[in-house]
Amino acid sequence: MRKGVRNWGPPLLLLSPTIIILGIFVYGLIAANVRVSLTNRTSLVPATEFVGLDNYIALLAEDRFLHSLANLAVFTVVFIAGTMLFGFLWAWMLDKGVSAEGIFRSVYLFPMAVSFVASGVVWRWLLNSAEGDRASGLNRILETFGLGFLQNSWWNEPTWGMAAIALPAIWQLSGYVMALFLAGFRGIPDELREAARMDGASEWKLYRFVIFPQLSPIALSALIIVSHMSLKVFDLIMSVTGSIYVTEVPATYMWVTLTSNDYAKSATIATVLLVLASVFIIPYLIQTARSEKANR
Amino acid sequence: MRSTRMSVIAGAAILGLALAGCSTSSAGPSEDDPNQVEVFTWWAAGSEKVGLDALVAVFAEQYPDIAFSNAAVAGGAGSNAKAALASRLEADNPPDTFQAHAGAELNDYIEAGQLQDLSSFYDENGLYEAFPDTLIEQLTSDGAIYSVPSNIHRANVTWVNVDVLEGAGIDPTVAPESMDAWIDDLTTLQESGVTAPLALGTEWTQMQLFENVLIADLGAEGYTGLWDGTTDWDSAEVQTAIGHYGELLDFANTDYAGLDWDAATQILLDGNAGYNVMGDWAEAAFVQAGQTYGTEYTTWATPGTDGIFDFLADSFTLAVGAPHETAAIDWLTTISSAEGQKAFNIAKGSIPARMDAVATDYPEYQQTAMASFQEDTIVSSLAHGSAASVSWSADLSSAIGKFGADRNADELLTALVAAAAAQE
Amino acid sequence: MTVTEKTRPAPAPAPLPLSPALRPRRGFSLGRTLKYTILIVFVFIVMIPVYVLIVTSLKPPADVNPATSWGLPVRWPWQSETPGGATGFDNWSAAYTALAPSIGRTFMLAIPAALISALLGSMNGFVLSRWRFPHANLVFTFILFGMFIPYQAVMTPLVQMKSTLGLPSDISTLLLVHVIYGLPICTLIFRNYYVSIPMELMEASRVDGAGMMRTYWSIVLPLSLPGFVVTIIWQFTNAWNDFLFAMFLSDTAGGPVSLALNNLAQGAQLANYGTAMAGALIASLPTLLVYIILGKYFIGGLMSGSVKS
């Protein structure tokens, strides 16, 4: 009995402030949000009745919302792949030992320091889609360096254009992922590497069986940080393109409905976004639980 | 166990500190002082800020005892301000007076009972006589009036690069008679080597161009009828307008979706386009670039809209439950006074709503706009919140943005009809 | 406060300890040249937007044109012949005047927000990673899920709460909100960090019968510097750059620099891009400094943690 209290009590006591606060400010507000999504509150006038799941049914059948989901999917895939790729690549190269590592690291890391409130304008210019004579932004630079064939219409391309919107996001967060991976590389005890080399493991096998498994908690942590930003991507799109149809994602769509006082729809979109979040969280949790079990 | 308890106490203490820090540092010292007015605007920089400062100076002169406090939230053409404002209204914590586009954009607040009727204010201050009748008509909602316009802008202005047109043998001083005639000129221009003769920008500028085409093809009455239900959205005229609009997009720069209005105007300034449809605030961009009206650029009412003034206005309201109501009314009095309107509009480059303003006080472009404003038929701008409620505008904006990407005229028509139906 | 005190006994992490095997080798090699080339090319790519920010901030309004955004200023600020009298220096002085009052306030927000969130996150992370108790994973999920909440959705009820509680429209309310919504990610970072550091020390102390809290203060906290660096960087940046909470819960008179910057950049129909970009650079300086100062310990510190084993 006493043992039970020892196991339960202290951790829960210590966690209870967090649990209570999040219970109010996250779950309480989510509940308030879900409640609004079940009403007919489509203007500033208070809701008159509950409409059940009508708002959800209407939203999921709407072309505009599906379009915003498709945009989000393209954005998310490119954003996650880009940050993980560059983050890993930079960390891997820096880990091999580089003079002036501090400079490289600071440069790669610093875009995180810049908010999109004003750098958004720069990105809007850089991603301008005009080509040839009127080319400005990145297209101009590609032309100048004789890479004119790489010029493209960036995010104005209807289907895959959202991939271009991910560029500023990759720019901003790759450095963070790099830092996480670099810390991961440095955290791998040298003895492990040496032991593997002694055993005659090839470089690939060293990575496959020693380094990657050691990095996987870090990779997962990076993945979940990047994916939560991806789902909520808002500032970036608002400042680079504004809330327009072509680059609409659920978060900006939600903003449009919020500013036009359609609270029920806005709340519905928010709830769908939260459900989408579990698509990322659940595999993550399963994976962590499994790997920790394996380690113990 | 003891240390555990200590830890919990320590954790709670930290949070408590944070909370206490918040509650003890109280807000401004004079929350209940009646001699102040909180004004909520999105004018925070540039000529708007200069104009606002000029207005505040007049206010300080007229009401020296009242402190002015500005809760500016800029960005997104007022959408940030609208969102922040809605949350404050929701929490029963309204500012005394807030900025809003005059016209249908106010409908939501009116329906929710968040605005006070200002008809008696208009009566007392003689505003029914001071403002043009057609403006009063556009501002009135069910016999009541809920805002005081501080400045008027015109949205159906076509800006013309004189050199570019002359280079193609087109007379820049004469506006084409109709949309079709304009499209002929655009074709001539394109054949002469100007690849994208019409400069265009992001979604709201597309919406403004579309509204210009609607006015041209439906006339003032037909266009106004779109908003009060007397014109059908699937009428032949609207379909013609969609056709014209699609043709115009073919003459536009391909990168339009990604350009701010000023970047689109810059294309015209650089001589890479012949025309740009934009509100009269674009004047400031031409002045800044050092160009002269008449020699390097000129303007006309968009082809087919001559004699019509497509208006938008910034205005101020009186919130229900305004904590400092008398002071707010004083602020509205200053805004509507001849002196206040003059101070603000000269700085901002817009025109006063009052008809008794002295034209010679204003620069040249504003004088011509003031004359048109008094003579022309006034219609309400869609792209700037005067014609349709916020949710209707948002639906239309999305439909037009989608058309800009896929050029599917049938879907645009369906979306326009659906958006109108959703308002019933 | 306690954070700095308690962390002091920690082994001062050498800024960039490299094991002998990893120390850069001298002499020419193709691989090394290639590596440096790639790294330097990336430096240029990453710096592109900054270059545009800097050159634009030096141009007078009449010369700012998206089509020539790559070009150096035609008229440099120190050249006096600019018509209209405006120079690139005016951008900087106007931006400084507009932002200066709010920068101090933003420090008062971002520093405590970062420290408090980090401390709470570290306690939570410690418990979740080292204490096996029933349904630990459920509790972790409960906390983690908070990260994914789209803040726009909760603004309206949040403003309502703020006005019910009578909280002021200034930094203190924002501090509270950043601490609260920072809890999930700080907990996540620390939990993952504690999982990765060796357990032997802690196991020993448990055998000793030291209480959980003693273990935390005397053993875990001193090992936590790298975790603190990561969360402080993250939270400081978030609080510094946050615009959404600031817009809804504070006002320009008492709010952080992001509001002032937004008003400067977006407050006018005809934007003055030069001033906006000078403002963006000024507003980014403090976060940049945090990266330069703490970046050194970020990786070095983490490595010292594992070396100890």
| pLDDT tops 60 at residue B24 | no
Give the residue with greater pLDDT, B1 vs A170: A170
Number of A–C residue contacts, CB under 8 Å: 280
Residue ranges of C 31-90 with Cβ closer than 8 A to chain B: 61-62, 65-67, 83
pLDDT at A65: 96
pLDDT, average across residues A35-40: 93
Residues 253-292 of C with CB under 8 A from B: 253, 259, 262-272, 275
Per-residue pLDDT for B20 more than 60?
no
Percent of chain A at pLDDT exceeding 90? 31
Residues B140 and B169 in one domain: no
CB B33 within 8 A of CB B96: no
> Given this model, what pLDDT does residue B30 score?
46
> Do B99 and B174 share a domain, yes or no?
no
Residue B295 sits in which domain range? 157-304+389-422
Structural tokens at position A237: 């799109």
Nearest neighbour of C152 by CB, restricted to A175, A255, A281: A255
- What's the confidence (pLDDT) of residue A1? 37
A238 touches chain B (CB under 8 A): yes
Give the per-residue pLDDT at B31: 54
Instruction: Reply yes or no on whether the pLDDT at A292 is more than 70.
Output: no
Statement to judge: residues B59 and B203 lie in one domain:
no
**Do B48 and B166 have their domain in common?**
no
Query: Among residues of chain C, what percentage have pLDDT more than 90?
Result: 28
- Chain C nearest C-alpha distance from B160 (Å): 19
In a domain, A190, yes or no: yes
Q: Is pLDDT at C113 greater than 70 in this prediction? A: yes
Q: Are residues B341 and B260 in the same domain?
A: no
**CATH no. for C2-11+91-307:** 1.10.3720.10
The answer to whether A11 contacts C133, with C-beta atoms less than 8 Å apart, is: yes
Model pLDDT, residue C68: 81
Average pLDDT (A6-13) is 69
The whole domain housing A258 covers 65-117+159-295
Chain B residues lying within 8 Å of A14, measured CB to CB: 4, 7-8, 11
Residues B55 and B186 in one domain: no
> Is C268 close to B22, i.e. CB distance below 8 A?
no
The answer to whether residue A254 is domain-embedded is: yes
Amino acid letter, B423: Q
CA angle, residues C246, A240, B246, in degrees to nearest 5:
130
Distance from CA of C80 to the nearest CA of A (A): 27
Asked if the C-beta of C214 comes within 8 angstroms of chain A's C-beta atoms, the answer is: no
Q: Does residue A176 lie within any of the structural domains? A: yes
Same structural domain, B101 and B207 = no
- C209 pLDDT band, cuts 50/70/90, is low
Contacts of A156 in chain B (CB under 8 A): 254-255, 257-258, 405
What pLDDT was estimated at residue B115? Answer: 95
Domain match, B144 and B66 both: yes
Measured CA distances, C277 to A47, C49, C51, C283 (Å): 44, 11, 11, 10
For chain C, the domains span 2-11+91-307
Q: Give C270's contacts in chain B (Cβ within 8 Å).
A: 46-47, 262, 281, 284-285, 288
Specify whether B238 is located in the same domain as B98: no
pLDDT at C301: 55
Q: Please determine, for residue B382, whether its predicted confidence score (pLDDT) is greater than 90.
A: yes
pLDDT, average across residues A211-240: 84
The 10s digit of each residue's pLDDT in C2-21 is: 333 333 333 334 344 444 44
Q: In sequence order, what are the residues at sequence separation of 6 or more whose Cβ sits closer than 8 angstroms to the Cβ of residue A146?
A: none
Query: Which segments of A61-189 does DSSP mark as H helices, in order?
Result: 63-95, 101-109, 116-126, 137-144, 162-187
The helix/strand/coil state of A5 is helix
Average pLDDT, chain A: 85
Q: Please, what is the end-to-end C-alpha distance for chain A in angstroms?
A: 26
Least confident of B90-104, C41-55, C204-218: C204-218
ipTM over 0.90: no
Do both B291 and B415 map to the same domain?
yes
Q: Is the pLDDT of residue B324 over 80?
A: yes
Q: With 60 as the cut, is the pLDDT of residue C24 above it? A: no
The pLDDT, as a whole number, for residue C257 is 93
pLDDT in tens, A255-267: 899 888 899 999 9
Radius of gyration over every alpha carbon of chain B, rounded to an integer in angstroms: 24
Question: Does B415 have pLDDT greater than 90?
Answer: yes
pLDDT surpassing 70 at residue B206: yes
Confidence band, pLDDT 50/70/90 cuts, at residue C309: very low
Residue B279 lies in a domain: yes
Determine the average pLDDT of the residues in B129-152: 92
pLDDT of amino acid A135 = 75
Q: Are residues B141 and B191 both part of a single domain? A: no
What mean pLDDT comes out for the span B319-341?
A: 94
pLDDT tops 60 at residue B254: yes
Does the distance separating the beta carbons of C303 and A10 come in below 8 Å?
A: no
Annotate B117-132 with b (16+ C-beta within 10 A) or e (fewer).
Answer: bbeebbeebebeebbb
Domain CATH for A86? 1.10.3720.10
pLDDT tens sequence across B260-272 = 898 899 999 999 9
Residue A6: predicted pLDDT:
52
Whether residues C212 and B7 touch (CB distance < 8 A) is answered with yes
Q: How many domains are contained in chain A?
A: 1
Q: What is the DSSP letter of A227?
A: H
Q: Are B258 and A244 in contact (CB under 8 A)?
A: no
Whole-number pLDDT of residue A179: 84
Q: Which chain C residues contact residue B290 at CB under 8 A? A: 62, 83
Q: Quick one: pLDDT at residue A10?
A: 72
Q: Which two tokens stand for residue C59?
A: 């141009």
Nearest-CA distance C265 → chain A (Å): 6
For C83, which residue in chain B has the nearest alpha carbon?
Answer: B290
Averaged confidence pLDDT in chain B: 89
What is the band of A278 on the pLDDT scale with cuts at 50, 70, 90?
Answer: confident
A269 touches B: beta carbon within 8 Å = no
> Does residue A39 sit within a domain?
no
pLDDT over 90 at A42, yes or no? no
Q: Which pLDDT band holds residue C27 (cuts at 50, 70, 90)? A: low
Residue B241 has what pLDDT? 97
Instruction: Provide the number of structural domains found in chain B.
Output: 2
Whether A291 maps to a domain, the answer reads yes
User: What's the pLDDT at C204?
Assistant: 60
pLDDT at B161: 96
Q: Which chains have 3 or more CB–CB distances shorter than 8 Å to chain B?
A: A, C
CA distance B412 to B404: 10
* 3-state helix/strand/coil string of chain B: CHHHHHHHHHHHHHHHHHHHHHHHCCCCCCCCCCCEEEEECCCCCHHHHHHHHHHHHHHHHHCCCCEEEECCCCCHHHHHHHHHHHHHHHCCCCCCEEEEECCHHHHHHHHCCCECCCHHHHHHCCHHHHCCHHHHHHHEECCEECEEEEEEEECCEEEEEHHHHHHCCCCCCCCCCCHHHHHHHHHHHHHCCCCCCEECCCHHHHHHHHHHHHHHHHHHHHHHHHHHCCCCCCCHHHHHHHHHHHHHHHCECCCHHHCCHHHHHHHHHCCCCCEEECCHHHHHHHHHCCCCECCCEEEEECCCCCCEEEEEEEEEECECCCCCHHHHHHHHHHHHCHHHHHHHHHHHCCECCCCCCCHHHCCHHHHHHHHHHHHCEEEECCCCCCCCCHHHHHHHHHHHHHHHHHCCHHHHHHHHHHHHHHCC
Q: Name the pLDDT band for B8 (thresholds 50, 70, 90).
A: very low
**Cβ distance C180 to A21 under 8 Å?**
yes
Q: Tell me, what's the pLDDT at B144?
A: 94
User: Is A177 contained in some domain?
Assistant: yes
Average pLDDT estimate for B113-122:
95
Residue B80: give its domain's CATH number.
3.40.190.10
From the list C66, C156, C288, which residue is nearest A128 (CB)? C66
Q: What is the mean pLDDT of residues A245-253?
A: 92
- Region C50-68 average pLDDT: 86
A260 in contact with chain B, both atoms CB, cutoff 8 A: yes
More confident site: A67 or A158: A67
Residues B117 and B233 placed together within one structural domain of the fold: no
Q: Tell which residue, B325, B314, B331, has the closest CA to residue B70.
A: B331
